[in-house]
Structure 1
């Protein structure tokens, strides 16, 4: 009856969680930067500016061939008609910096000459009709903004190149671009391109790893239990634990990050351990106590993550701890009694002294050589073809990596006045909302300058051209209504400006993110010993101080050995190596508790669980995504070292090692 009630409750929980859950969050920044912090929230928005921008680079042997390639490519230009409509209706309100200087200096002859050239240019364009805008001021203002210029065509190395800056809103749009570019000398760069290929490759690699790990587990079960039947309940326990953990996390956080699912793979190894122990030692008196102790200590290791300020760590803490509780309940309440015939592993006498010497030599040699790398750029290594495309883009077009200034104001008008003031004081190249629309104060200044132009030069201009103009009467435009406001708005009272060189108060996005990763790494280092102390206290209460030392020492030395070995191999540690240490602690305590309280059969279950888990993480360490491979390598070393150390440090209470 308990089993039925539990399963019904679980099914209802799963359904409710899936209904309430939102799509998985895939943006890496949102895993570590709290959206509740205004400053870090701005950083996320600024970092995501490029998340939809793709650079499409065309390469040809001649200009004609280049134009043909561009003509055949789908039209992906952004429609700025709403912007040009504003300029057309208010031609005297917006002046380029050059035009303002000419009018301030009363260089009316120069203004007139430039206007005549533009009027008689056969390829010229008119944003506002010449009879309403005699000096083509609106056209001059538009052309002064590089955003609207199609001048990204250059010659390099005997070939011609052109770049199209496109915005993609989905993978479907990106896949269409990739399909059109196939077989042509068209190169793609930009964040969406790297994200697409990295995600695609990672999915393939992880699927292959899952298949290999599953086959290896099935083969291990077949060898030990002489049957594949045991794989079915083991698989169900793993699935149940995953669903239970997901449901708890989804109900608490609503939207989970994809990294939470990556770290939740730790449930597989522990679920396997619990299930195997049930089938081998389920009738032992100490089984439930050992299983419960293992669940509580491992869950506590992950509950320690709840004290972190890192969103993804809190998600991992809830997902994994509740997943463990789910597996524990499934094993206790759902798995039916059943014995499987099984073999026994032959005892292999390990060179205990030699291995211990190796461990302590590695620790002594490596622990003082630890170095860290918090640079976010080093978390991803692009494939050769994408790296070549990025290098080509840099060499040909030499794009500048901008820095950002956050501008605050009570309204858009105030923000515009501040950005206009910064541009005048700093005299630097920048891109902000003020490049495209002026504050009301600046508009009034422009209108005054234009009226002086009309008063002093318009009759001469009309006489020269032999025509009569009727300039549009000046009216102030409300910049709150400008179409591009949302593109520069961080919130209702904040905007940004991009500058091509560092100025006081400017932010370099990559540097700022790296600082955050460093802070988070240090925070994890602070939490880890606190979690360890909490677990030691819990184990002391359950098993006594002496046994608590036995259980925790393999974990402690396994973690230290992992850090030392990585350092000896010249690997600089990043945040994800440190996060892996939490998982090592959870796994190794689980194994140590069962070794302390179990007999010969328990020893075999621990060996199979540790071997299969370590093998899975070893495969994970070969993935191309450095973030995931860092985690896999750390866990492989830590789990292997902790298990081997437990063989020497823990003597079973049942008299076996």
Structure 2
């Protein structure tokens, strides 16, 4: 059965096809099929397709932007540094578009867009005044004329005698932020320092590794400008924020962790193999199993998902320590047999145990498919395919490649192994050790605390967070993704709805429940509102025109000769004025597969009382509060509960399988080490101060699947097996546990909290599962208990 060369040839053909597939995947495209976008890990919002489209649109638009602030105590120095910096930014090739100094045409864009429509554009305060007390507008004109600093000219009075347009533009300017024009640059003052704003649009995706590799050149340029314009008394600084900086940090962290985990595991395995087997053949065979597993896992994942996420690779790197378990059992059996080695009998001896081990491990890994997170599904698939390939390599190739016996010698640490085995034959040890560990673990579980915050998936450097906070304080604009989705059946209905929502948000701002917001409704009234404004202005001219003429003695009385020409959505979106907020207008979106509606987004900044926002949106079906991080964090909590149910189900399935083969007593003895190990892993993680989350429960699934392997090999020992055979089994299990600890334990070094927490749980659980695995061993019969003892 096991000597069938056709099986070996079939696996060789499969691996050759996989290697060819790997070559194609790595060379078919300009970029490696590796995904670095943290958002790709998150599930889509299937409950509200419109919300998902809104989030995707806004996330894409905002993620491509980079904001710079050039600051100095001296305004002239700030302008010179900004001019030089913006000029050299354009030469980096990192940005497709840079907005720094505004041209004359850009500066005049506001007047060009709004001035021809001035008779139908009013602020809310002007609307109230003209509707209820129009004479106040006349009084305001007189006040402006007598104010020497108002700057009212005869030309302005001729074309806008009631000075309505200047007030309208003043309000728009106030809503546009904290900035004013200084020599063509948008500048502001903050803590006695002058700052100039530069915004840039990336020449590609912020998750492009090619673009990320250009960031050192940007850092060098920033430092050059700082050094060039700083003096001992005046220090220039340049602040920046943008998704690309966080993405680059995440990529670097992942690459570093893959190197640490993958290379650390590999080096640890090599050392173990050299020390234990003292031969190049076991090392070559072990590396062959690892290579086949990783190649198959990578190719299979890319074939199904199109790309492999770096997050999955960080976890997948730990597959090295698991995929070699099957090799250890075969090679240790060979070492123990010495000159009596039969490669096919050796495989037959471990075949049931490694097959059951594969099945239980797959139950653990594939259990992650229940979570609708693409990253977790990738990890699940990556690990499952890798394990199957490593298993197939041992079963199909090892009998041929390791057919020769090794030089006879005692097993390493055979006396220590024998003493450990004898210890577990003592009845008091067999019940007291598990009992003490179980009680300690249960007491530790009392301190458990869960935190489902999705932000744990990304390690955010303090320096970048501080710069982002400073930029928010200076500009008054947040780069966060808290927003309101406003929907309506038609475009004009949407503008009307935006105006109504803006009024309610103004109330929240006034009561300090919200710091500020950005809405396209500020700059684009609906046609119905414009018509209403037009009528109010017309009435003003009719009612107050003569009175104004009598008081300021105009060359000719104000005459209202304007015709209504609405400011359209197309005109606004085509103007440079709309550029900062153009992306918030979604236009037509899919409410359902058969229904289209119009949508726009209002960006929120500084939500101080989230309950007020949610209460406000809950009262209106056309209004939705969107926060992807909160949404997915909520899903994390929901699926944490589902995974708990899955864990219980998986445990019962595995227990049923064990009871079916080994009976109730031994089945319970086999699953107890994994159960106590899982409890201990959660307890230690919680006691260490690390919050628990969905990943810790996924860690429990792995502890269950991997820990059962250790019990399986002890359970497959017969009471007639000599101690030499038992020691070889313990040695193989110990080596397997060491490599698993090296692999998953190194995850505890991760800077990403979720991965760090996962690593601590698995590390603790696997150690406890290994420690208690001899519980599944059948005590030796008196006739054989001392055979092979040296």
TM-score between both structures, scaled by the size of structure 1: 0.84
Please state whether the residue corresponding to 1:408 is helix, strand or coil. strand
Q: 1:360 aligns with which of 435, 438, 448?
A: 438
Please state whether the residue corresponding to 2:324 is helix, strand or coil. helix
Give the equivalent residue in structure 2 for 1:370: 448
Is residue 362 of structure 2 the alignment partner of residue 295 of structure 1?
no
Is residue 401 of structure 2 the alignment partner of residue 337 of structure 1?
yes
Q: 1:109 aligns with which of 124, 133, 138?
A: 138
21-30 or 3-12, which deviates more: 21-30
Q: 1:241 aligns with which of 273, 284, 293?
A: 293
Q: In structure 2, do the counterparts of structure 1 residues 255 and 97 end up closer, same or farther at CA, with 3 Å as the change threshold?
A: farther
Give the equivalent residue in structure 2 for 1:36: 46
1:251 positional shift: 3.8
Q: In structure 2, do the counterparts of structure 1 residues 399 and 141 end up closer, same or farther at CA, with 3 Å as the change threshold?
A: closer
Q: 2:83 aligns with which of 38, 52, 71?
A: 71
Q: 5 Å matches for 1:265-344?
A: 265-281=317-333, 283-284=345-346, 285-335=348-398, 336-338=400-402, 339=404, 340-341=406-407, 344=411
Q: 2:677 aligns with which of 551, 558, 566?
A: 558
1:652 positional shift: 8.2
1:626 positional shift: 1.7
Aligned partners of 1:398, 1:515: CA distance in 2, in Å?
A: 29
5-14 or 64-73, which deviates more: 5-14
Q: In structure 2, do the counterparts of structure 1 residues 523 and 154 end up closer, same or farther at CA, with 3 Å as the change threshold?
A: farther
Q: In structure 2, do the counterparts of structure 1 residues 456 and 227 end up closer, same or farther at CA, with 3 Å as the change threshold?
A: farther
Aligned partners of 1:458, 1:140: CA distance in 2, in Å?
A: 23
Q: In structure 2, do the counterparts of structure 1 residues 234 and 394 end up closer, same or farther at CA, with 3 Å as the change threshold?
A: same
Give the equivalent residue in structure 2 for 1:625: 752
191-200 or 574-583, which deviates more: 191-200
Q: 5 Å matches for 1:343-354?
A: 344-346=411-413, 347-348=415-416, 349=419, 353=429
Q: In structure 2, do the counterparts of structure 1 residues 95 and 231 end up closer, same or farther at CA, with 3 Å as the change threshold?
A: farther
Q: Conserved in 2, the CA contact under 8 Å of 1:301 and 1:532?
A: no
Please state whether the residue corresponding to 2:99 is helix, strand or coil. coil
Aligned partners of 1:378, 1:467: CA distance in 2, in Å?
A: 68
Q: In structure 2, do the counterparts of structure 1 residues 359 and 163 end up closer, same or farther at CA, with 3 Å as the change threshold?
A: farther
Q: Conserved in 2, the CA contact under 8 Å of 1:33 and 1:44?
A: no
TM-score between both structures, scaled by the size of structure 2: 0.71
Please state whether the residue corresponding to 2:689 is helix, strand or coil. coil
Aligned partners of 2:780, 2:223: CA distance in 1, in Å?
A: 66
Give the equivalent residue in structure 2 for 1:489: 586
Q: Conserved in 2, the CA contact under 8 Å of 1:53 and 1:166?
A: yes
Q: Conserved in 2, the CA contact under 8 Å of 1:66 and 1:160?
A: yes
Q: Conserved in 2, the CA contact under 8 Å of 1:294 and 1:593?
A: yes
1:555 positional shift: 1.0
Is residue 601 of structure 2 the alignment partner of residue 590 of structure 1?
no
Aligned partners of 2:373, 2:200: CA distance in 1, in Å?
A: 33
Q: In structure 2, do the counterparts of structure 1 residues 197 and 322 end up closer, same or farther at CA, with 3 Å as the change threshold?
A: closer
Is residue 565 of structure 2 the alignment partner of residue 475 of structure 1?
yes
1:556 positional shift: 1.0
Is residue 527 of structure 2 the alignment partner of residue 440 of structure 1?
yes
Give the equivalent residue in structure 2 for 1:615: 742
Please state whether the residue corresponding to 1:33 is helix, strand or coil. coil
Aligned partners of 2:411, 2:145: CA distance in 1, in Å?
A: 96
Is residue 23 of structure 2 the alignment partner of residue 26 of structure 1?
no
Q: Conserved in 2, the CA contact under 8 Å of 1:103 and 1:453?
A: yes
Q: 5 Å matches for 1:251-262?
A: 251-262=303-314
Larger Rg: 2
Aligned partners of 2:146, 2:560: CA distance in 1, in Å?
A: 20
428-437 or 455-464, which deviates more: 455-464
- List runs of 5+ in structure 2 lacking aligned partners: 1-5, 88-97, 181-185, 227-236, 334-342, 510-516, 574-580, 591-596, 618-623, 718-724
Q: In structure 2, do the counterparts of structure 1 residues 70 and 388 end up closer, same or farther at CA, with 3 Å as the change threshold?
A: same
Q: In structure 2, do the counterparts of structure 1 residues 361 and 325 end up closer, same or farther at CA, with 3 Å as the change threshold?
A: same
Please state whether the residue corresponding to 2:401 is helix, strand or coil. coil
1:612 positional shift: 1.9
Please state whether the residue corresponding to 2:525 is helix, strand or coil. coil
Q: In structure 2, do the counterparts of structure 1 residues 261 and 205 end up closer, same or farther at CA, with 3 Å as the change threshold?
A: closer
Q: Conserved in 2, the CA contact under 8 Å of 1:59 and 1:159?
A: yes
Please state whether the residue corresponding to 1:427 is helix, strand or coil. helix
User: Any idea what the Cα deviations from partners look like across 1:154-204, whole Å, max 9, x if unmatched?
Assistant: 332x54455555554434475554332236322334544333224323422
Give the equivalent residue in structure 2 for 1:179: 220
Aligned partners of 1:422, 1:391: CA distance in 2, in Å?
A: 27
1:94 positional shift: 4.3
Count matched residues: 654
Q: In structure 2, do the counterparts of structure 1 residues 515 and 308 end up closer, same or farther at CA, with 3 Å as the change threshold?
A: closer
Q: 5 Å matches for 1:529-540?
A: 529-540=648-659
User: Any idea what the Cα deviations from partners look like across 1:410-432, whole Å, max 9, x if unmatched?
Assistant: 23322222121222345335322
1:220 positional shift: 1.5
Please state whether the residue corresponding to 1:74 is helix, strand or coil. helix
Q: In structure 2, do the counterparts of structure 1 residues 454 and 12 end up closer, same or farther at CA, with 3 Å as the change threshold?
A: farther
1:298 positional shift: 1.2
Give the equivalent residue in structure 2 for 1:578: 697
Is residue 221 of structure 2 the alignment partner of residue 154 of structure 1?
no
Please state whether the residue corresponding to 1:373 is helix, strand or coil. coil
User: Any idea what the Cα deviations from partners look like across 1:393-443, whole Å, max 9, x if unmatched?
Assistant: 466667667853222222332222212122234533532221232222223
Q: Conserved in 2, the CA contact under 8 Å of 1:310 and 1:520?
A: no
Aligned partners of 1:653, 1:478: CA distance in 2, in Å?
A: 90
Q: In structure 2, do the counterparts of structure 1 residues 310 and 212 end up closer, same or farther at CA, with 3 Å as the change threshold?
A: closer
Q: In structure 2, do the counterparts of structure 1 residues 236 and 606 end up closer, same or farther at CA, with 3 Å as the change threshold?
A: same
Please state whether the residue corresponding to 1:621 is helix, strand or coil. helix
Q: Conserved in 2, the CA contact under 8 Å of 1:413 and 1:440?
A: yes
Aligned partners of 1:463, 1:238: CA distance in 2, in Å?
A: 93
Q: 1:389 aligns with which of 467, 481, 491?
A: 467
Q: Conserved in 2, the CA contact under 8 Å of 1:112 and 1:135?
A: no
Q: 1:420 aligns with which of 499, 502, 509?
A: 499
- List runs of 5+ in structure 1 lacking aligned partners: none
1:562 positional shift: 0.8
1:633 positional shift: 1.7
Aligned partners of 2:279, 2:556: CA distance in 1, in Å?
A: 101
Aligned partners of 1:96, 1:511: CA distance in 2, in Å?
A: 35
Q: Conserved in 2, the CA contact under 8 Å of 1:154 and 1:397?
A: no
Over the aligned positions, Cα root-mean-square deviation in angstroms equals 4.4
Is residue 645 of structure 2 the alignment partner of residue 645 of structure 1?
no
1:130 positional shift: 7.0
